[in-house]
Copies of this chain bind each other. A is one copy, B any other.
Amino acid sequence: MNNTEHPTLEFDSPIRRFVTKRLIGVDKEVSIRDAVSKMVDFNISSMAVLEGEEVIGFFTDADIKERVVARGLSCQEPVNDIMTTDLITADINFSIREVLEIMSKHGIKHILVTEQRKTVGIITLRDLETMDRQKFETYIARE
């Protein structure tokens, strides 16, 4: 950064720099109850569903409320029954701006990150907002 007083906004930077979260997943046959226990243990708000090594689905806190609790579905059912299979992904070389646009277009807050078509991580709207906040606070601290 050349100008320390006015840090450059990095909306055009690739998300690669910010994808630090390990993607946590469970096999598609795992029960909703066991999968959610794992979410509680890891303090995460979304989870990947796997078939072998491949990510075949995804679900979030909102899906648990809507598809399990509100519908009275048994927690013994496999996560296979509640996952979203129409996966929206962003390549790790996409810019933050592009990812925000994809999230906005699809009305989603979580997006799977791929590299050479393989799922390698996840990034959330909250991650991006928090990044902004840190930049903001950095700017303020320099005032």
Contacts and interface: CB of A to CB of B under 8 A. Distances in A.
A140 interface: yes
A10 B65 CA distance: 35
Interface residues of A, number: 30
A70 B33 contact: yes
A76 B72 CA distance: 8
Contacts of A33: 69-70, 72
Contacts of A64: 64-65, 69
21 contacts: A9-B140, A33-B72, A36-B65, A36-B70, A39-B65, A39-B70, A40-B65, A40-B66, A45-B61, A61-B65, A68-B69, A69-B69, A69-B75, A72-B76, A129-B129, A132-B132, A132-B136, A133-B133, A133-B136, A135-B136, A136-B139
Interface of A: 6, 9, 32-33, 36-37, 39-40, 45, 61-62, 64-66, 68-70, 72, 75-76, 126, 129-130, 132-133, 135-136, 139-140, 143
